Structure 1
């Protein structure tokens, strides 16, 4: 994995060494390009992301210079080509297979869900692999409507994938692993009622009524209401 946006921005070379992206606008510009991988992004859109609260003189030139520097700082594309392409007033970051965590995240989830009915153990492997890519809130350096919507979409997808993972683990007779995944998720603030409800249900289905009752009581304390 060369580029990570599922959490703080992380850029690495193929050998695992971290890439020094620089400070100032560099991380925001790269994050904005990674928000739309393999697509041309016009300079006006980039400027809106990098400077959301003000108009900057010569923004196009500043972005051009920044992108030129980022080419030097980022891993090559396909081992030989510059990672970022430019043409007048537009820039594009090139991303290959398994190079950007957000794209791989969605791909693994899709594969896992497709396998759910036919091969639950393998589905659990794919879904678990996707969820392990998550390090925190995506695109934290950006503050635009689009970046917030994309971050929320990925967060919602993560929680949906957790539900699919629990389904796969239960079908694969791995109730203990399902409980562990739900306990870990339930511990994240703020508490999510659907996660707690699923934890209680899985514990009951697994023949662990005492733990289910304890989880229900804890959920009531965390959420401030009885699950019923």
Structure 2
């Protein structure tokens, strides 16, 4: 089973069928559990994520019907144990290797970083595969400290992966690919100064001074406006 959190929540069976996770409390609870896979999470923390505008004296009792519904929709973890477990007012979801896209994403970035000095071609494939997992903002349905912190961490890591992909393309002398990627990234976030600097650098090294100067002027306008 594949759980996708790098964008709107998706749950996909091994045969490619999408699991029908009802919107509202079931979707929010599953998202909150996937925020900390294989870890015990208190009922209080989960209830805060699912129902941020109310408090409960017995959050575990309120969560139980939602957990029960999810257990019917999600297959067992392995062959015998429940995918979602409960113990002493806490819950956890069992996630195996390769089942959660945010974890796969992080591993691809680590693999690419390790390979970059000696095998930039394979490293580039790792970084591209990592970037391709993204479909939108992670954990956007939740508004908790943990969800915001994890979304920020993953977003920063995505930009790191894209920066490293540029490094890999430059090492492979793929100038056209690195320029196209950097131009796309400046369009995605025009106020990110580092991307403009890399674009000017790559254009200069490629012997395209006119384009480098134009990019530098545009960067000064866009980033300068943001500074004001």
TM-score (structure 1 length as normaliser): 0.91
Alpha-carbon shift at residue 97 of structure 1 (Å)? 1.2
Q: How does 1:83-162 map to 2 (within 5 A)?
A: 83-162=83-162
The aligned residue for residue 60 of structure 2 is 60
User: CA, structure 1 residues 190+202, in 2 after alignment: closer, same or farther (shift >3 Å)?
Assistant: closer
**Secondary structure class of the residue paired with 1:3:** strand
Give distance in 1, aligned partners of 2:64 and 2:70. 10
Partner of 1:168: 168
**C-alpha deviation, 1:142, in angstroms:** 0.9
Say if 1:190 and 1:136 are closer, same or farther in 2 by CA, change over 3 A: farther
Return the alpha-carbon distance in structure 2 between the equivalents of residues 198 and 158 of structure 1.
16
Partner SS for 1:187: helix
Task: Please give the alpha-carbon distance, in whole angstroms, between the structure 1 residues aligned to 2:190 and 2:75.
Answer: 37
- The alpha-carbon deviation at position 75 of structure 1 amounts to 4.0
Q: After alignment, is 4-13 or 181-190 more displaced? A: 181-190
Deviations 1:179-203 (A, max 9, x none): 1221221111453111111112111
Deviation at 1:215, TM superposition (A): 2.2
Aligned residues: 226
Distance 1:224 1:44, change over 3 A: same
8 Å CA contact 1:4–1:10 kept in 2: the answer is yes
Rounded Cα–Cα distance in structure 2 between residues aligned with 1:2 and 1:79: 16
Residue by residue over 1:51-89, the C-alpha shift from the partner in whole angstroms, topping out at 9 and shown as x without a partner, is 223213542122111111111112443366432122231
SS at match of 2:8: coil
Question: Which residue is 1:187 aligned to?
Answer: 187
| TM-fit CA distance, 1:110 | 0.3
Range moving further from structure 2, 124-133 or 184-193? 184-193
**Counterpart residue number, 1:206:** 206
Q: Which 10-residue stretch deviates more, 76-85 or 2-11?
A: 76-85
Q: Say if 1:78 and 1:209 are closer, same or farther in 2 by CA, change over 3 A.
A: farther
In the TM superposition, what is the alpha-carbon distance from 1:109 to its structure 2 partner? 0.3
Match of 2:36 in 1: 36
Distance 2:195 2:89 in 1: 46
Distance (whole Å) between structure 2 residues aligned to residue 150 and residue 64 of structure 1: 26
Mean Cα deviation higher: 70-79 or 148-157: 70-79
SS in 1 for 2:188: coil
When normalised by structure 2's length, the TM-score is 0.91
Matched, 1:3 2:9: no
Preserved contact between residue 12 and residue 75 of structure 1 (Cα < 8 Å): no
Mean CA deviation greater in 21-30 or 50-59: 50-59
